[in-house]
Amino acid sequence: MTNEEVKYGLAGVLADDTAISKVMPEINSLTYRGYKVQDLATQCRFEEVAYLIWNGKLPTEAQLGAFNEVEKKERGVSDDLLDVMAKFNKKAHPMDTLRTAVSFLDQEDDTTEDSSPEGLMEKSIRMYARIPEIVAADFRLRNGKEPIPPKKDLAFSENFFHMCFGKVPAPEIIKCFDISMTLYAEHSFNASTFTARTIASSTSDIYSAVTGAIGSLKGPLHGGANEAVMHMLKEVGSPENAKEWMLDALATKKKIMGFGHRVYRSGDSRVPTMTDAYKKMVDVIGTDEAKNYWEMSRILDETMVAEKGIYPNLDFPAGPAYYLMGFEIPMFTPIFVVSRITGWTAHVMEQLANNKLIRPLSNYTGPAQRDVTPIGARE
């Protein structure tokens, strides 16, 4: 095998079939089950999109009502899990907490080994319902506060804010968050999804697949990028510094987060929708801080496009949007999981419906075959 035959990073490799999502180059748009994601984000609640990703079709009002009732019944993690979380190392990254907590959900579930379609769906909805509470509880515990239990009369996004802050914010903030949930929900064979499918292909359980996916998503080249964007904006400091900062970063070949995408060539189709929601939220918040972050983002975006023709990806508007909602920076990637649990579990179910063990080849570059020298004769 020659180096030319190796597809490093599996770039361009078709690994399997999927009916869940696709970036359609002819319209430069990410689609879920054939629907443009920007249309879903603006016209549907996240609960509808979760139903679509798992079931292949948008729900009727009756179907959505029944689906939401099942999710609400699954809300509420055990006191045992909350007690364990209270003892976790507060200096560890929240993704470490989340990864361990999902493993704990596995320990508590007597149906872990049930990989029937019905069993997989039940566990998918269970994680969809309980991961938001885990993320919110960790957020509060790290700040010396007691976790707030979920409210079953609140919709998905409203309930998450309630569990984090004890209140539901303005509709524009909820809308911005809900849109981000839809936009982050699924993205074909990315690193974390492929990790989940690889684990599932060994016929391990769905909790193990999700735990592995969380580990993959933690990386700053994947899910951690939205955190890096916010750190970058804090380094820029003010709108007045933004253009000069970007020009200097380009000149010195500094790593600039939130721009470019391995799949999109003409700009990330999710960005305009998220940016519009971010701007509407900024207008409602109305503080100087919110206006400054918006203006910094705008100038950095314009400068990068003008200088390099490279467009922002979803992490670029999502990072400051989450920050202005009141979430701490290390919480951004766990929030990603609150959304992406839908896509991951859909892929696990799809993998197991027509499973083949994922076992690629490798191009060996080590020493040629050699004999073992007795230890006394080695140099």
| Angle ∠(148,129,313) on CA atoms, nearest 5 | 100
- Let me know if 93 is a catalytic residue: no
The length of the chain, given as a count of residues = 379
- Let me know if 187 is a catalytic residue: no
Catalytic residue among 261, 268, 301, 347: 261
Helix extents (H) in 109-170: 117-142, 156-165
Catalytic residue among 138, 205, 301, 315: 315
Assign 35 to helix, strand or coil.
strand
Backbone angles phi, psi at 24, to 5 degrees: -90, 110
Alpha-carbon gap, residue 66 to 356, rounded angstroms: 34
- What angle, rounded to 10 degrees, do the helices at 288-308 and 239-251 form? 30
Q: Which residues of 334-369 are buried (b: 16+ CB within 10 A; e: fewer)?
A: bbbbbbbbbbbbbbbbbbbeeeeeeeeeeeeeeeee
Alpha-carbon gap, residue 142 to 204, rounded angstroms: 32
- Let me know if 222 is a catalytic residue: yes
Residue identified by tokens 């080994």 is 113
Catalytic residue among 16, 93, 222, 276: 222
- The residues annotated with a catalytic role in the active site are 222, 261, 315
